[in-house]
Structure 1
Amino acid sequence: MIRKTALLIIDAQVGIIEGQLGPVFQPSTLVQTLKKVREDAYSKGIPVLYVQDADVGEVGSDDFAIHPEIAPLPSETVIQKLATDSFHGTDLHEKLQALGINHLVITGCKTEYCIDSACRKATTLGYDVTLVKDGHSTSDNQVLSAEQIIAHHNTCLHGLGNIEPFILVRESTEDIFAPTHDSYR
């Protein structure tokens, strides 16, 4: 099967990365990784779609804005959501289908909520997923540090699948836009 890939940047908003809903673990490192991954996508002609949490600050506020270092181009798709699941109540799936996408590279915030939900839901919708190991982050909670949460999710999501589609966790330094899923089938 021919794989067509898109990059999904989820909730990379100022209010999460640096603001009152964060800061996330290693915010500047995360932003630099997201910039590099996005530039790689651009150089390969990979579509980039953004998901923005409508509950993060007021529309138009700094907290609500996608981080300025990775702000979308005017031609790029930005989908606003209310749920942790980027697909729930949005037209994300329809937009991806219209582009012929069947492989998603997922990055963004927060690991245990919106990243986890998007990865799992994407497989049930028929997408193979590459989660960028160093391209998502979160904040400490009362039980675990952000670093532990990230490591845990990188471990438990790697190889997770639903019938046929599944998730691979790969470093941003790898060729993440070339899916390797078929070599495991």
Structure 2
Amino acid sequence: MSRTAVLVIDVQQGLCEGPGAAWDCAGLIARINRVTVAARVAGIPVIWVQHAEPGLEPGTPGWQLAQGLQVEGADLRSNKTTGDAFWKTDLLPTLQGLGVQELVICGMHTEYCVDVTTRAALRHGYPVVLVEDAHTTCGNAAVTPQQVIAHHNITLSTTSSFGPRARLQTAQQWADGVASNP
């Protein structure tokens, strides 16, 4: 298996709690934990990406990783201020330093940070496993969160213009695959 890393994007308290919470955060956290636990057992690095903006200032409760996530001391962190986890961050040099050749992406919000980071990863030459049931959003007046997620699963997995491709797997499929291919 190529050298893989797991990116968990923006699963922060301010996005998972209160009236503006994304859809199915409890289920999302459980599925992300399934992925990250399997990754660590297989020696795959886990990188927690945290977004900062007004209302999500570093160090504030809302900026912290969401309650219920299983975070380990050896996990890596990357901070960002735009939707793209690669833009003006330490992510690319970190991945290069680790010799990463493939990314597993999950997190929030589907149509913003998950979408743009997946496309940026492809642009940087990284094939992506998009964990199809481990990203979420709030939806909007026109579409439900489930519709946004389904649309992006299809769109991102059929994008071919970058060369590398994104493929879909559920959290359980990915965890089972990693366990059977150490």
Query: What TM-score results when the alignment is normalised by the length of structure 1?
Result: 0.89
Q: Displacement, 1:140?
A: 2.0
Query: What is the alpha-carbon distance in structure 1 between the residues aligned to residue 116 and residue 50 of structure 2?
Result: 14
Q: Where does 1:57-68 land on structure 2 (aligned, <5 Å)?
A: 57-68=56-67
What is the count of residue pairs matched by the alignment?
177
Q: Displacement, 1:71?
A: 5.2
Q: Displacement, 1:177?
A: 8.6
Q: Which moved more, 1:156-165 or 1:41-50?
A: 156-165
Q: Displacement, 1:178?
A: 5.7
Matched residue, 2:137: 138
Query: What is the alpha-carbon distance in structure 1 between the residues aligned to residue 49 and residue 162 of structure 2?
Result: 26
Among 24, 27, 51, the alignment partner of 2:25 is 27
Q: Is the 8 A contact 1:111 1:137 kept in 2?
A: yes
* RMSD across aligned positions (CA): 1.8
Query: Which structure shows the higher helix fraction?
Result: 2
Q: 1:136 to 1:87 in 2, by over 3 A?
A: same
Matched residue, 2:81: 82
Q: Which runs of 5+ in 2 are unaligned?
A: none
Q: Where does 1:24-173 land on structure 2 (aligned, <5 Å)?
A: 24-55=22-53, 56-70=55-69, 72-173=71-172
- Identical counterparts, % of pairs: 34
Q: Displacement, 1:48?
A: 0.3
Q: Which runs of 5+ in 1 are unaligned?
A: 180-185
Query: What TM-score results when the alignment is normalised by the length of structure 2?
Result: 0.90
Q: Is the 8 A contact 1:170 1:176 kept in 2?
A: no
Q: Displacement, 1:80?
A: 0.8
Q: Which amino acid aligns with 2:78?
A: I
1:62-82, Cα deviation, whole Å (9 max, x unpaired)? 211011322532332111100
Q: Displacement, 1:8?
A: 0.3
